[in-house]
Amino acid sequence: MVENAELRDQLVVLKSIPADDSSEQGVESLWRQLMIHESFSSSELAEAKAKRSAAEATRQQTESESVRNTRAVTERMRNKAESAVEEAKGLRDDAASGGAITGSGHLSQLMSNVLGTTVLEWVGPEATSRGTVILAPRGLGIWKPLNDVPPRLGGKHESDPILHKLCLRDRIRHDSLYESLVAGA
């Protein structure tokens, strides 16, 4: 009872401080929280804190796993793209892009600088579907030459060698930092 009397005295002092409506509501909210806190036993509070700590640890672990999984997926996508570009280098010294990326010259230029190759934008409708329609018969051996249906290309984005070197340097640095983080986790 003595503690509650002291708390009430403190509330009276707090209420005597001139304040706007929002700070008065804040004081009232704190008072309600304090009263709720006082109504729990120390064992109940300890149990609630332990549950909260466990939930926070689980959340952090889940977040860490999500980042790790996302990293693995994007790493795989990057490796596949690099492999495809590397395989195609003997055939052409450029890469074609379609879809949403063609709506922004900046993204196409960024892709060009990262990959270190020229990026040509596709201006026809849905390049992915067209590619599938062409590659399926080719895979079956029905359609041999690709020159039968020449591509309709738009903007051309040349790779800037200096920016490409910066991208490579940053990628190496990023990979090194990531590996040290994973090793420490």
| Model pTM above 0.75 | no
d(CA 155, CA 3): 76
Domains assigned to the chain: 1-15+22-54 (no CATH), 94-185 (3.30.420.40)
Q: State the DSSP code for 91.
A: T
Question: Using one digit for the tens of pLDDT, what is the confidence trace for 79-122?
Answer: 777 777 777 666 655 555 555 565 677 777 888 888 888 877 77
Give 39-54 pLDDT, tens digit per residue.
Answer: 666 777 778 888 889 9
